[in-house]
Amino acid sequence: MKKKATIVICDPHPDSASALTEILVSNDYALVHAHDGHDVLDKVKSLDYDLALIATDTYAMDGFQVCRLLKESERTRHIPVMLASGMSDKVTRNRAIQAGADEFITKPYNRVELLSRVVNLLRIKHLHDRLENLISEKETEKRKLEERTRELQLLSDIARIVISLKEQKIVLAEIIDKITAAFGVEVALLITREGSDWAIHTLSSHISEKHIGTLLPHGGSIFEYIERYEKPMIVNDAVRDERIPAAIYALTPNPLRAAICTPIYIRGQLMGVMMIINKKTQMGFEHGDLSLLMTVSGQIALAMENMQLFNKLSDFNRNLQDQIRQATHALVDLKNFNESILHNVSAGIITADFSGRILFVNRAAKSILGYSDNELLDHKMETIFGREEASRMLHPTVENESAPGNAEVQVRQKDGTRLFLGFTTTMRYDVDHNMVGYIISFKDISLVKSMHETIMRMDRLAASGALTSAIAHEIRNPLAGIKTIAQALQKELPPDDPRHEYVYRIIKQINRLNDLLKAFFTYAKPVRPEKKACALPELIQEIKALLKARAETDHIEIHEAYDEKLVPIEVDENQFSQVMLNLMMNAMDAIGQGGRIAILAQSVQRTPLNNYDLPVTMAEIRVSDTGKGIPQEQVRSIFDPFFTTKPGGIGLGLSIVYRIVQEHGGEIKVESVPGKGTTFIMHIPCAEKSKSILENRHTLTTTI
């Protein structure tokens, strides 16, 4: 028989309440009348109703407030609420909606409208109840599934721990912690037999280890019961169970309420007992807990048996490893010793087979060449050094063999930098004394060669300077006398005397010789530079002003570009202006008509040739032109005194440039491609603690 839907109604007006009752009762609904708003709340909270139909003007508490309280309560919010009012204005309806009413109806009640809305609300309530029941069923199924998943996860975790190659103590400790977490208990422990007694072997990790090893009596204990009857036990009233030893009670911070004990058998013998104590949920243990713990105990038995076998195998393996270790110790030491020597020598070492394939490189070789292991090993030497260079290194000449270490070769690093290597090549032999390849040892001698060339150039400069100084002194005094006589003669001659022109030309040539002597003295006895911080762009601007007329006449463009991090250079302003003026005038001479001079400058970290300390900040200044260039055979002599390619030149300009740069602790070199142009590259020390000279400039490049 279908249960009637029960509706609680509250309408303070007898007429409308009577009409409402007649309509609902005649349609087979069970009614409960409430006197006021409080009575509605009490009835709905005490009994399960299907619908509440409340007038908005109920006594004690209006219908809007009653509806709001019903909807705010977790217990009653599922019950549909219909508010009834004699007013149908928008404000009243909005208040009903805001109060949470499911329906709103106006009085007097219209039978059809009322029944239609009641049916709809009851249908919604019925669907809601069905949904709640389904959710409850699904939650129950979910809990069962989670419980099963927890069991399977526990068994899987323990199986994974059992097959791990860890020590027995660690394995059992991990298993106990897994059991503690999976069962949600306060304590889990493994108890093993120690002679005629029992002892705590392993505990949950959060319990103090001081309890491990505690002896537990056998007689009259729960362990005697398990051994005698060979079955597990559930104790859900442990407070009054005298079979549980007192030492077990000391393990839990709370009174011992319940416990499960399961036996652990190995090959038919009782070897231990697995015990869990007190669920954290305060509930007792169930048969499902017992069944799962028995399964886990079987896995623990398997783990203990496996570990016994593993310990035997470990002992055998340990002895075997000791023998192998002793047999190979000397070989490993020898190998490490040899590798240590190879990797720590300052010379680069490469071994290669007869085809030139690289088999081994040491750290020094990688550092010198700038390549990594992967870029060198199993690659042909000709791909690294070049075909001709690799051939020279792999097939040393008789001269190289008679004077090992004297052979030289010029190669490129990975970044393209050229360097000179001094190398020695010897044959490599295998254990049977068969030749199997080459051993090439080498050092970077680029710095040595550069210093050697610098020393030779300085020697030439010193010798030339001494000779120049001596000659200049011998010439200067007579020349001064000649000039004095010529000037006196010029004053004595009448302006219209034809000899006046000859005397003028004599004085002009004497002045030219004086200028030449000044150049000689500048070269032979340079003035010690008075260094200070100078902004390179400003210095260049002054020189450009001097050369502007010639640049415009010869249609030569002068372009500047400065790095934004460029700092002032530390130079003698007059001497360095002479350097830049000389280089720019030489560039104009090389260009002739229609070309371009580029001045580029940036700050770099560089170790000076005469300094082996850490790198310092230097300005790299490049002066490039688009002139005819310098033949390669002349590049090495370009800074030598009296070397010149200009008709009528004396060859001291670049020598003076070189000496001034050297006096400033800098370096200068030249790169030239015939037909394309020449670049002079200088490295000049920067002033310390200086900020960028361009940080307030609006442009990094200028051009005229």
At 243-287, the pLDDT tens digits run 888 888 888 888 888 899 999 888 888 888 999 999 888 888 888
Higher pLDDT, 450 or 120: 120
Question: Helix, strand or coil for residue 33?
Answer: strand
100 and 180 co-located in one domain: no
Question: Is residue 155 situated within a structural domain?
Answer: no
Here the CATH number for the domain that contains residue 419 is 3.30.450.20
Task: Give me the number of domains the chain comprises.
Answer: 5
Which one of 524, 555, 578 terminates a domain?
524
Q: What angle do CA 603, 607, 609 make, to 5 degrees?
A: 125
Name the DSSP class of 411. E
For residue 612, the tally of other CB atoms under 10 A from its CB is 8
Here the CATH number for the domain that contains residue 41 is 3.40.50.2300
* Integer Cα distance of 299 and 306 in angstroms: 10
22 and 126 co-located in one domain: yes
- Assign 53 a pLDDT band (cuts: 50, 70, 90): very high
456 and 349 co-located in one domain: no
Question: Is residue 353 situated within a structural domain?
Answer: yes
pTM of the model: 0.37
Question: Is residue 141 situated within a structural domain?
Answer: no
* Integer Cα distance of 485 and 469 in angstroms: 25
519 and 541 co-located in one domain: no
Here the CATH number for the domain that contains residue 646 is 3.30.565.10
For residue 418, the tally of other CB atoms under 10 A from its CB is 9
54 and 74 co-located in one domain: yes
128 and 228 co-located in one domain: no
Q: CA–CA distance from 150 to each of 59, 179, 276, 433, 517 (Å)?
A: 56, 11, 17, 68, 104
Q: What angle do CA 249, 252, 253 make, to 5 degrees?
A: 120
568 and 491 co-located in one domain: no
What single letter denotes the amino acid at residue 220?
A: G
Question: Is residue 153 situated within a structural domain?
Answer: no
> DSSP letter string over 209-238?
GGGTT-EE--TTSHHHHHHHH---EEES-G
Least confident of 37-46, 205-214, 498-507, 549-558: 498-507
**Radius of gyration for the chain, computed over Cα atoms and rounded to the nearest angstrom:** 53
Which one of 486, 503, 524 terminates a domain?
524
Here the CATH number for the domain that contains residue 298 is 3.30.450.40
- Assign 54 a pLDDT band (cuts: 50, 70, 90): very high
* Integer Cα distance of 625 and 239 in angstroms: 104
Which one of 419, 442, 465 terminates a domain?
442
Question: Is residue 543 situated within a structural domain?
Answer: yes
370 and 479 co-located in one domain: no
* Integer Cα distance of 626 and 555 in angstroms: 13
684 and 584 co-located in one domain: yes
* Integer Cα distance of 576 and 562 in angstroms: 18
433 and 474 co-located in one domain: no
Name 237's Cβ contacts closer than 8 Å, sequence gap at least 6. Answer: 257, 258
Higher pLDDT, 508 or 600: 600
Here the CATH number for the domain that contains residue 485 is 1.10.287.130
Q: Which of 362, 338, 377, 335 is nearest to 440 (CA)?
A: 362
Question: Is residue 299 situated within a structural domain?
Answer: yes
* Integer Cα distance of 455 and 645 in angstroms: 24
* Integer Cα distance of 661 and 682 in angstroms: 8
Q: Parallel, antiparallel, or unpaired for β 6-10 and 30-33?
A: parallel
Question: Is residue 334 situated within a structural domain?
Answer: no
- Assign 632 a pLDDT band (cuts: 50, 70, 90): confident
Question: What are 144-194's pLDDT values in tens digits?
Answer: 787 778 777 888 888 887 777 677 788 888 888 988 888 889 999 998 887
630 and 593 co-located in one domain: yes
Question: Helix, strand or coil for residue 385?
Answer: helix
Query: Given CA atoms 588, 591, 594, 596 in this order, what sign does their dihedral have?
Result: negative
306 and 379 co-located in one domain: no
> What range does the domain containing 461 cover?
450-524
